[in-house]
Structure 1
Amino acid sequence: MIKPYSKDKKKVFISFVSADAKLAKALRSFIIKKFKGKIGVYLPSRKMQLNQFSNAKLRTYLEKSHAVIALMTANSLDQPWLYMDWKSQGLSGEGLYILQTEELRLLRTDFKQPFESAVINDTNSFTAFVRKFSGAFLGDDYPAPLDEVKLFRYQVARVMSEMADDKVRC
């Protein structure tokens, strides 16, 4: 069962493809630890992503979110998931944070409307991402301690390596 968001917290929805679940979980852990419970994080399960009857629940969580962080990797690049989620809600690119892995190097012009106004960073510039996100989202500047950023970047590198190993085995 899905627990509803707490009414007194800012809420963020992490949008990702199932192949990037480990990376999404690492991001959720970072946000929970970094912002000390000030932000509620919704990370849909693989089961919910695959279950068409859960679409209404996913849309409800998306609508209740103050922001969406979309994880973009080589796994998700050719998938229509982000555009479909966003267009189905009639939302603008405002409140969308795109966090791409380093190998993509996409530019703002590579995205279709309404995503030109999204905040786009890669995992290599994660400190800048955290500052933009926390400043806009919480109205405060929460400078990310260097050790936390290094730990997250290490986790991203490890997860990406594991995902590459899994592809080789298949």
Structure 2
Amino acid sequence: MSRSRPVLLLLMALVLTGCAYSVQGSPAPGALPSSSSEGPKIPTTFTVASADPCTFLTQDDLKPLGPYKREPRRQDDRIQQSCQFVLNDGSDAGITVVTAAYLPYQDAKAKQRLGREVFVEKHSTWLTCTQQGPDMVCTAVVAVHPERSLLVALALHGATEDKVAATLTPLASAALKRLPA
């Protein structure tokens, strides 16, 4: 599965298999207009190109969701520079969180056209949520550099969009604070 594949398929596979994932959205016919003519707001520029995505979140950050079901692992075969965290919430599937050094913000925004702009730590963030069977899957793409973004995705069983988005926001904030400036 290449990076050009929709995120939705990636996360759907993750939910179904517990080990594979993708990023939500589908390619848009053209780029979406920016909500600001100046482009995304990036108050602090971070370098993610050489960062290890498995260091973007810690076990303490994820503790409210549950303990590790298995150790975090790189999933470069799914999305380059990505890491998957599988947490034990008492269910068979568990909870899955994905972090990645991702596409430029504007490119991610164009792929995930059903999203909306929010802000995490004053950084433009494109939030996209999709119901996939009993799971609500949300992806936050945070503008951190003109050429790369930070992706944090979360799938929760039986949750509402508001609940998943509210749970995802502190995770995106924690990951953002760990990026090298």
Give the alignment's TM-score, normalised by structure 2: 0.29
- Bigger-Rg structure (1/2): 1
Higher helix share goes to which structure? 1
Q: 1 or 2, which has the higher strand percentage? A: 2
